[in-house]
Homo-oligomer: A and B are copies of this chain.
């Protein structure tokens, strides 16, 4: 965990961040080794020397702790969506670039490795996958609200906004999945490149034909 961020904060906050990170790391470790269902919260809490009650003050559920790395990205995304000065192009390009910006803001060290563990775990753990999908859904809705506030259109029945957001999510999932199961080390830049390809494939997917 990046030590730079810690300094400057009051002791209490530093401790909290450390406990939180320890829970995430130990969870990813134990879940990866013995499986999500093969690990009880009691075991995790014992390892981190924290009571189960405390665990639930940091995370909403057992799934939640293992999904934390990805959630940081989307928090950054929503933040950028609020503040970034928009370019004048298509909405999809705006969304793509905002996502790239958010990705660049993820810590260069450690983040990619955690996401990799998290995603590989999610791929073989239905309840984790479900949890992740629902988080995406919530994020999408928040993003729609932000976009409506900033740019309109006022018509809440215009479906295009939602459709475009979902396309972004879809492209992200495509890229993430390829990236997750690629051999070799996990790198943020590699994910970025795959993301670019996935976005580029969107127009073709609308016009794609099948042999009769």
Chain A interface residues toward B at CB < 8 A: 86-92, 94, 126, 129-131, 133-134, 137, 147, 151-152, 157-164, 166-167, 169-171, 173-174, 178, 197-198, 201-212
Q: Are A160 and B90 in contact (CB under 8 A)?
A: no
Nearest-Cβ distance from residue A45 to partner chain B, whole angstroms: 23
Partner of A201, one of B160, B171, B201: B160
Nearest-Cβ distance from residue A47 to partner chain B, whole angstroms: 27
Partner of A206, one of B87, B202, B210, B212: B202
Partner of A86, one of B152, B167, B212: B212
- In the bound complex, how far is the Cα of B167 from the Cα of A204, in angstroms? 12
Q: Are A151 and B211 in contact (CB under 8 A)?
A: yes
Nearest-Cβ distance from residue A171 to partner chain B, whole angstroms: 7
- In the bound complex, how far is the Cα of B134 from the Cα of A133, in angstroms? 7
Given A88-B209, A160-B204, 4 further pairs, Cβ under 8 A: A90-B208, A130-B134, A159-B178, A163-B171
23 examples of A-B residue contacts, CB within 8 angstroms: A88-B210, A88-B211, A88-B212, A89-B209, A90-B206, A90-B208, A91-B205, A92-B208, A129-B137, A130-B130, A147-B210, A152-B211, A159-B178, A159-B201, A160-B204, A163-B167, A163-B170, A163-B202, A164-B206, A166-B166, A167-B206, A170-B170, A206-B206
Q: Are A197 and B159 in contact (CB under 8 A)?
A: yes
Q: Are B126 and A133 in contact (CB under 8 A)?
A: no
Q: Are A201 and B163 in contact (CB under 8 A)?
A: yes
Given known A130-B131, A157-B178, A163-B171, contact A203–B201 (CB-CB < 8 A): no
- In the bound complex, how far is the Cα of B178 from the Cα of A83, in angstroms? 30
Q: Please name the residue on chain B nearest to A207 by beta carbon.
A: B90
With a CB–CB cut-off of 8 A, which chain B residues contact A160? 201, 204-205, 208
Partner of A205, one of B87, B167, B171: B167
Q: Are B210 and A151 in contact (CB under 8 A)?
A: yes
Nearest-Cβ distance from residue A158 to partner chain B, whole angstroms: 8
With a CB–CB cut-off of 8 A, which chain B residues contact A129? 134, 137
